[in-house]
Amino acid sequence: MSKIKAWLIDMQEHAEEIRLARILGIPYDDLIQLDYKIEPVEENGILLNYQFKLTGNPPKQIIRKISRLESGRKVILEPWELDSDYEMQFDAIVTDKDHLERFNKEIENLNALLSLNIEDPNLKRILNRQVFIGIIGTLETFLSDLFINLVFDNDIYFKNFIKTHPEFKKRKFQLREIFDESDKLNETAKKTMLDVIYHNLPTVKEMYEDTFQINFPSIKEVYKYVFQRHDLVHRNGRTKEGKVVETNERAISDLTIKVKQLVKGLVEELDL
């Protein structure tokens, strides 16, 4: 093994240990003093969770700090808690607060691509198609980043989200499990928000209204473009009936106007 490859492996393991320490609620320096193993728990070939198990004779002063410890030896870890991509995605969202500025800049950049002088009609069509898809994607990102930041910056919004989202309504646990469930609440909420498909505008509208107690702007005009985006991505640019989805400059201009109107209305409703 080369020195560079070994170094990369060491760096990855170090990052995973730092993430595990954060999950357990202890400093990294405490974690590296422990002997432990992590084992998957499966049922009928389906991964249910992981178990962090202490081995050997861990220092008692460290054990007392570990959150969610069961029987003094183990912690149940949800599968997504060990997913570095999920953690990195969430961290990237909450460290960038300029959502509206970033949205406007991205829309401006996408529309600027239309001025490129492309003589090949087929290439021009492909470019227009990607700009169309990109505008919907930019709206998605804005709705996602704004929602997550507002919820995690405000305790009232966080409570509203927990009380109204279907994911939490269907969860059931015994009273003796309440503290364990409470400890996992933040992480479960993060994962739930990141898993939302933010171009599913009816769902997003309901989430915004339930969580922030607002009237979400009308989605009727923009939602028809979401369906067209689906046709562009999954049906090679044709509807179920075989009709070609128009992505010329006029269609893109109309889409841009409608998306900007929705964002403007939402920002005003939230009083941002």
What DSSP line would sit under 241-267, residue for residue? Answer: T-PBPP-SHHHHHHHHHHHHHHHHHHH
Query: What angle, rounded to 10 degrees, do the helices at 121-152 and 220-234 form?
Result: 120
pLDDT for res 11:
45
Within this chain, do residues 66 and 99 fall inside the same structural domain, yes or no? no
Helices (H) and strands (E) in the chain, counts: 13, 3
Within this chain, do residues 196 and 242 fall inside the same structural domain, yes or no? yes
Within this chain, do residues 100 and 59 fall inside the same structural domain, yes or no? no
Within this chain, do residues 199 and 218 fall inside the same structural domain, yes or no? yes
- CA proximity to 147, closest of 102, 209, 105: 209
Q: Which of 49, 82, 115 is the last residue of a domain?
A: 82
Within this chain, do residues 77 and 93 fall inside the same structural domain, yes or no? no
| Residue type (1 letter), 135 | I
pLDDT for res 164:
87
Within this chain, do residues 142 and 12 fall inside the same structural domain, yes or no? no
Residue 186: domain span? 88-270
pLDDT for res 166:
77
Within this chain, do residues 29 and 103 fall inside the same structural domain, yes or no? no
Q: Which of 82, 97, 113 is the last residue of a domain?
A: 82
- What residues are paired with 54 via a beta bridge? 36
Q: Which of 16, 50, 82 is the last residue of a domain?
A: 82
DSSP letter string, 117-158 = ----HHHHHHHHHHHHHHHHHHHHHHHHHHHHHHHHT-HHHH
d(CA 207, CA 185): 18
pLDDT for res 44:
66
Quote the tokens at residue 57: 């004779």
List of the chain residues with pLDDT < 70: 1-15, 43-46, 80-94, 168-184
pLDDT for res 7:
43
Within this chain, do residues 40 and 112 fall inside the same structural domain, yes or no? no
pLDDT for res 207:
92
Number of domains in the chain: 2
Quote the pTM value: 0.66
Within this chain, do residues 74 and 167 fall inside the same structural domain, yes or no? no
Within this chain, do residues 150 and 214 fall inside the same structural domain, yes or no? yes
